Chain A
Amino acid sequence: MKLVNKLLVLISAISFSFSAYAVDKSFPNDKVTMWGDFSGVTLQVKLIGGAPYEPLYQEMIPIWEEKTGGKVEILSKKSHFELDKEIKQDIAAGDLGWCVGSNHTSFAPQYGDIYADLNGIVSAEYLAEFTPLILEHSTYNNKLVQLPQHSDVSNLFYIKSLYEDNDNKKNFKSEYGYDLTPPETWAQVKDQSIFFADPPNFYGTQYVGKEEAITGRFYEMLIAEGGSLFDDNWNPTFNDEAGQRALQWFKDLYDAKAVPAGVMNYLWDETGLGFASGTVAMNLDWGGWAAFFNGADSKISGDVGVIRAPLGSGGKRTGWSGSHTYSITNECPNKEAAASFIWILTNHEAQMHEARTGKLPTMPKVWDAIAKEMNDTGNVFMAEVFSTFKTSMAEDAVTPPLIPEWIPFSNIIFPELQKAILGDKSIKEALDYAAKETAYMMEDAGY
């Protein structure tokens, strides 16, 4: 039965249900519109694919084609990691005649100068509608190389009924000496995860355990513990005491079996689906999953709470952040059409469409509009989600270093993080080795 339930969650997740709201084709809330007559223009684009991204394309691309007379030819639609590989091959082959590509603030610095500066291509009036800090993160080498569609930051979702259960409250207090409430610190997350865990049926929490995902999780825990990846001269510093404390948290949970045994192979799909299956008490995740967690296909529908990401011992909250964006190549033959296309994917109406599923807007006025809409429709949970995420975007969000070496750095450190968590190396040995290799890599890169 357990298997069948989990399978149902898995299958239903694939057919992710999105908002029933239709897009208003008159775009009444957009002060700036960028329509044009692009009859005869075929815009070649490379987009991030997958269930969470498709509804926007399906909604907006036909509208753009109808209103401008242009055509959109999708050359690739892949996961971001696959798209990243393809774009690197395009750079090597000099095959950059396509126009618009999905991008990300963490990935953009790798691509050198293939993307055009959007200042001048996109009107200043339209740019003024975006949150200035997010535009700053979208800037590389003083060029605005991407326009943000939505942002990422993670907060803590939890199963409310676990915290309302009187037996849980009594037992937790007698064991740990303080009241059982949604956790304020990562140390409390550890205590509560161990308390709730009943493997293999139920786990306290989980984390993404491989590739850039665990690098980012370690990075934000490091910041929360008061550490940093590099010093001012780009020498690695993550192997100091703060780094060791940050990594110890992951290892302690793994050793206590408070997280699923397979977490070292998990990415976001596994953690999201796992939480929705009702077998995990707490889950740090981005807002894009919120509607699903509380939707009809989730086993914990109606029983989900959300709080800001907890504090580390350094007094800071975790807040690894970035933005999904669109860029225009320098070689694009019709940049005006390309700008019009990225406008329709990033404008007020598009962001509202995405925000209804929990994705975080990049325009302040969309934050206000979505909060009002959720309050007006009585959707208390989503109103709480947006209120929580708005605060964390404003106060906790921190991007990884916006340098081309972020992904190569991640490929150095993540196997070492895994080795320490699994016990193949001590925490110090693993971090010291990663620091040494990172120093070589940074030196080679000219830092």
Chain B
Amino acid sequence: MKFKFLKSPIMLIMPAIIAISIVVIIPLIFSFYTSFTSYKLTRPDSLFNFVGLRNYERIFSNSEWWWTYLRTILFLTIALNVELLLGLGIALLINKITWGQRTLRTIMMFPMMFSPILVGFQWKYIFNDNIGLLNNFLYLFGYESAIAWLIDQKLAMGSILAAEIWANTAIFSILLLAGLMGIPKDPIEAARVDGCSSWQVFKHITLPFLMPFIFIALTIRSLDVGRAYDIVHIMTGGGPAMRTELTWTTIARIGYKDANMGMANAMSYLSIILSIAFTYYFFTKLKASRQELGQ
């Protein structure tokens, strides 16, 4: 009887269940519990100070948080769209190359190899209003005013987006290039024989084949951008005046600097909803595009 139990399927997957419980489920349950407490990192005894929904009530009535939430959605939307367009363009161009493609693919991936902290410092220096490369470059052409790239209401977010897009567009390019390489040649050649223009071939054959790859790339990047922190933290710290504040810069400040981990965890769970929503949307689209291809 004992031997039979050990052979059961549950026992076979038990190591995986234990590992996932330790690494994922228990921390999730713990952090979810702390979101209902006034837990402060510097006062471990506050872990048992249950405050019910107070943290969530305060978040729901905090207009600054909801502006930050909207700003994060906007940031996500712009970053994903620009990265997609640039990544698709780069992938299409590289796919056309018949000599040196491997070298170009490697060069294209260089920005991905930098740590986000290094990328943040690099772009912070480029956009520095006083000693930055960009303003000094503009001075060479007679521009007489110091542009406050990391201060101005619109430019600050644009500057961070530039850094984020520079560092991560290659992810789209690589995934879409893989998709382009997998497209069968026959339908394209048949279309050309039938007199289709390059645009018609792209729109009616290449793009539908690429759509599953596009949605996979969008899903991966939406999860990444949704928890953007390092680059923003280094370049502006979410400021000035919260102009570049995203959900995770707020959460990190409240969690670590204020040591208010209960509130930070409540905010984290609300932030996760954003990532789940984007992932769900892209997966629905992925399923539809695969069905369209008959997969």
Contacts and interface: CB of A to CB of B under 8 A. Distances in A.
Nearest to A90: B41
Interface in B102-132: 128-131
Contact of B145 (A2, A94, A199, A444): A199
A92 B261 CA distance: 10
Contact of A200 (B42, B144, B242, B253): B144
B237 A260 contact: no
A88 B240 contact: no
A274 B130 contact: yes
A260 B41 CA distance: 37
A444 B258 CA distance: 13
A277 B131 CA distance: 10
B130 A112 contact: no
Query: Considering residues A209, A265, A418, which has the most beta carbons from chain B within 10 angstroms of its beta carbon?
Result: A265
B136 interface: yes
B241 A260 contact: no
A178 interface: no
A265 B151 contact: yes
A85 interface: yes
A422 B131 contact: no
Given A2-B139, A200-B146, A262-B150, A419 B242 contact: yes
Contact of A3 (B38, B136, B241, B261): B136
B240 A422 contact: yes
A407 interface: yes
Interface residues of B, number: 36
A265 B41 contact: no
Nearest to B44: A92
B131 A199 contact: no
A42 interface: no
B236 interface: yes
Interface string A270-297: 0001100101000000000000000000
Contacts of A419: 241-242
A210 interface: yes
A135 B147 CA distance: 46
Contact of B240 (A110, A209, A279): A209
Contacts of B261: 92
Contacts of B260: 408
B4 interface: no
A383 B125 CA distance: 36
A211 B144 CA distance: 30
Given A211-B237, A411-B257, A404 B42 contact: yes
A92 B130 CA distance: 41
A97 to B, nearest CB: 15
Interface string A76-104: 00000100110011011010000000000
A264 B150 CA distance: 9
Interface residues of A, number: 42
B37 interface: no
Given A88-B256, A274-B130, A112 B42 contact: yes
Nearest to B45: A112
B129 A424 contact: no
Interface in B242-265: 242-243, 245, 253-254, 256-261
Query: Considering residues B131, B147, B148, B254, which has the most beta carbons from chain A within 10 angstroms of its beta carbon?
Result: B131
Chain B interface main SS type? loop
Given A88-B259, A411-B258, A6 B131 contact: yes
A111 interface: yes
Given A7-B131, A88-B41, A408-B260, A261 B146 contact: yes
Contacts, number: 105
A3 B131 contact: yes
A200 B145 contact: yes
B135 interface: yes
B42 A264 contact: no
B158 interface: no
A415 interface: yes
B121 to A, nearest CB: 12
A381 to B, nearest CB: 25
A352 interface: no
Nearest to A274: B130
A10 interface: yes
Nearest to B125: A10
Interface in B164-213: none
A110 B151 contact: no
Contact of A85 (B236, B243, B245, B257): B257
B7 to A, nearest CB: 40
Nearest to B240: A264
B148 to A, nearest CB: 4
B136 A2 contact: yes
Nearest to B254: A411
A264 B136 contact: no
Given A260-B146, A418-B239, A94 B44 contact: yes
Nearest to B152: A261
Contacts of A6: 130-131
B59 to A, nearest CB: 14
B96 interface: no
Interface string A388-426: 000000000000000010011001001100110110100
B130 A260 contact: yes
Nearest to A4: B136
26 contacts: A3-B133, A6-B131, A7-B131, A88-B41, A88-B42, A92-B42, A199-B146, A200-B135, A210-B239, A211-B237, A260-B129, A260-B130, A261-B129, A261-B148, A262-B148, A262-B150, A265-B236, A274-B130, A408-B257, A411-B253, A411-B254, A415-B240, A415-B242, A418-B241, A419-B242, A424-B243
Interface of A: 2-3, 6-7, 10, 81, 84-85, 88-89, 91-92, 94, 110-112, 199-200, 209-211, 260-262, 264-265, 273-274, 277, 279, 404, 407-408, 411, 414-415, 418-419, 421-422, 424, 444
Q: Which 5 A-B pairs have the closest CB atoms?
A: A200-B146, A264-B240, A261-B148, A262-B129, A418-B241
Given A200-B139, A264-B241, 16 more contacts: A3-B131, A92-B41, A110-B42, A112-B43, A200-B146, A210-B237, A210-B239, A262-B148, A264-B239, A265-B151, A265-B239, A265-B240, A419-B242, A422-B151, A422-B240, A424-B243
